């Protein structure tokens, strides 16, 4: 989809500011009165199909419209009942039995059943679906074999409906984080009859997600989708826990431009921003009762390297590029001290896991490696391009890194921004040399970062493939008898990954938002997890300290 013109964006911005009630009310003022949250959501979403999309903006939307067997408590991130009112785990940890609640309903009034989960997981895992998150269900017995076409009979996959309200899941190995996965949208059930009314089971981007067609089971329903302007949702009357839901609706805005988003916040058009310009951080930090909220975040910002394209197919080149980047300076200057330099894919302290550090900023070693690869002082260096999705912070980082590569290695690397959907396509088809990437943990465990680089993984997108690495992550770590042994195997695998350098880690994220003081029930947490079931608006009170920790 083409990027909207500046005029179109300006018009949508003006509409956002003026689409308020009479008497000069802003969106925030009217929203506080009517219980409508106005939410900056970053990029225009790729879609709303839980088995197709991959991005953070889509995550916010889908988890408002749909609900999994379990959900994350926004304060503790511990799993709590969702569609399943309870679950049991066998003594050996290999069989999980979910008991679906009797009052779980789709937005058309149909009950949510165990058989619908079997159908949906078959869809999510089907080789023709092209679901990049299929691997989230790989802990299930035979799920990977079915997803990769090695097994044709889905009946042999470890998921069965024992009755309409009982779902039995058999795992290959005990999986400590499996219940956490039930809050990831790739494991959500979809309404089979709605899917089939608009195409085949495995068709992508059909009309079933349109406003007049979609059937969902979450706390909100889709009411309006104006492309590049807003997505409006209203409180669901069929949701089993509607009594807890205090918002009457949510309006999501595509706020790819951070400068405009921050202006919208100041003008009262937004309760919440997805980010803010880096140069504004010190200003908001200095304010009393500041709306700026920054917190540790389970995510890593890095560059993907296409290891199948020369000169990047030479590990010495990849290492040289990584060692030439001064992460400390980048974090303190460009990023205004708001992030932590990264030397691994896994954030430090993920449930007590500390990743290995096998390289550092070392300009001399970087120049030596590049010379060994055949490019002394940058001589003979070919055309190489770095792509990033449109956002001012991404551009500033790319410009800074581009200059570091020039200063240290004397090489020219061009940079190019791409609209979100074009960028996603470039990454998924490996149509790039180097690409900006970020990965936010879907569950709190090092495995969620390390399993990205399994051979042929849906989100690998680098060409990296190593059977020893695969064995460590897929076989040896799951069978570890203790957390210490499991983490030792993870560190061994991550050291191998960083030695091969199919990615160049840049920094560990923090979440950074502007949040209006009337917004309650939205605590900062390690996953920046949004659970709108808990959120409400109180124009008369500010946030407490507990809500911003």
Instruction: Give the whole-angstrom CA distance, residue 303 versus residue 120.
Output: 33
Query: How is residue 503 written in tokens?
Result: 């990615």
Torsion sign, CA atoms 209, 210, 213, 218:
positive
**pLDDT truncated to tens, each residue of the chain (549 aa)?**
333 334 344 435 444 444 444 458 999 999 999 999 999 999 999 999 999 998 889 999 999 999 999 999 998 888 999 999 999 999 999 999 999 999 999 999 999 999 999 999 999 999 999 999 999 999 999 999 999 999 999 999 999 999 999 999 999 999 989 999 999 999 999 999 999 999 999 999 999 999 999 999 999 999 999 999 999 999 999 999 999 999 999 999 999 899 999 999 999 999 999 999 989 999 999 999 999 999 989 999 999 999 999 999 999 999 999 999 999 999 999 998 899 999 999 999 888 899 999 999 999 999 999 999 999 999 999 999 999 998 889 999 999 999 999 999 999 999 999 999 999 999 999 999 999 999 988 888 999 999 999 998 889 999 999 999 999 998 899 888 888 999 999 999 999 999 999 999 999 999 999 999 999 999 998 899 999 999 999 988 655 444 544
Between the CA of residue 70 and those of 218, 388, 446, 449, what are the distances in Å? Answer: 12, 34, 21, 21
pTM attached to this predicted model:
0.79
Nearest residue to 54 via CA among 113, 130, 123, 118: 130
Domains annotated on the chain, with CATH = 6-43+219-273+515-548 (3.40.190.10), 67-209 (3.90.76.10), 295-510 (3.10.105.10)
Nearest in space to 4 (alpha carbons), one of 274, 273, 256: 256
């Amino acid at each position: 989809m083409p990027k909207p013109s500046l005029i179109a964006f300006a018009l949508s911005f003006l509409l956002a500011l003026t689409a308020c009630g009479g008497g000069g009310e802003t969106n925030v003022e009217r929203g506080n009165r009517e219980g409508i949250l106005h939410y900056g959501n970053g990029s225009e979403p790729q879609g709303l199909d839980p088995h197709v999309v991959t991005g953070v903006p889509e995550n916010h939307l889908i988890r408002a419209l749909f609900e999994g067997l379990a959900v994350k408590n926004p304060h503790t991130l511990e799993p709590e009942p969702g569609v399943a009112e309870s679950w049991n785990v066998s003594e050996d940890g290999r069989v999980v039995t979910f008991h679906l609640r009797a009052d779980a309903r789709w937005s058309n009034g149909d009950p949510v059943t165990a058989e619908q989960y079997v159908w949906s997981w078959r869809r999510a895992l089907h080789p023709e679906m092209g679901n990049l998150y299929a691997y989230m269900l790989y802990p299930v017995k035979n799920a990977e074999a079915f997803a990769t076409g090695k097994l044709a009979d889905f009946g042999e996959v470890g998921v069965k409906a024992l009755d309409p309200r009982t779902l039995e899941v058999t795992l290959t190995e005990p999986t400590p984080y499996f219940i956490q996965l039930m809050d990831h949208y790739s494991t959500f059930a979809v309404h089979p009859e709605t899917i089939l009314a608009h195409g085949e089971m495995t068709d992508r981007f059909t009309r079933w997600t349109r406003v007049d067609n979609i059937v969902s089971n979450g706390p909100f329903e889709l009411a309006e989708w104006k492309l590049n302007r807003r997505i409006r949702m209203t409180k669901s009357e069929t949701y089993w826990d509607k009594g807890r839901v205090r918002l009457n609706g949510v309006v999501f805005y595509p706020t790819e431009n951070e400068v405009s988003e921050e202006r919208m916040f100041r003008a009262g058009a937004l309760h919440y921003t997805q980010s803010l310009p880096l140069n504004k951080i010190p200003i908001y930090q200095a304010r009393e009762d500041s709306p700026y909220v920054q917190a540790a975040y389970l995510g890593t910002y890095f560059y993907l390297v296409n290891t199948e394209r020369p000169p990047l197919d030479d590990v010495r080149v990849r290492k040289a590029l990584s060692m030439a980047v001064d992460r400390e300076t980048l974090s303190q200057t460009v990023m205004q001290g708001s992030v932590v330099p990264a030397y691994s894919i896994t954030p430090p302290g993920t449930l007590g896991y500390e990743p290995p550090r096998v390289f550092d900023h070392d300009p001399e070693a970087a120049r030596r490696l590049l010379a060994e690869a055949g490019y002394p002082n940058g001589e003979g260096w070919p055309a190489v391009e770095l792509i990033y999705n449109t956002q001012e912070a991404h551009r500033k980082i790319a410009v800074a890194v581009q200059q570091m590569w020039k200063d240290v290695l004397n090489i020219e690397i061009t940079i190019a921004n791409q609209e979100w959907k074009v960028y996603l396509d470039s990454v998924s088809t490996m149509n790039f040399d180097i690409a900006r990437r970020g990965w936010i943990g879907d569950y709190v465990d090092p495995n969620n970062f390390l399993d990205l680089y399994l051979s042929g993984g849906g989100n690998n997108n680098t060409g990296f493939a190593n059977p020893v690495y695969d064995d460590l992550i897929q076989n040896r770590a799951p069978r570890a008898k203790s957390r210490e042994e499991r983490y030792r195997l993870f560190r061994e695998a991550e050291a191998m990954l960083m030695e091969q350098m199919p990615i160049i880690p840049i920094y560990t994220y923090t979440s950074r938002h502007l949040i209006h003081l009337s917004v309650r029930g939205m605590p900062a947490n390690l996953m920046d997890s949004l659970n709108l079931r808990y959120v409400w608006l109180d124009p008369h009170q500010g946030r407490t300290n507990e809500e911003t920790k």
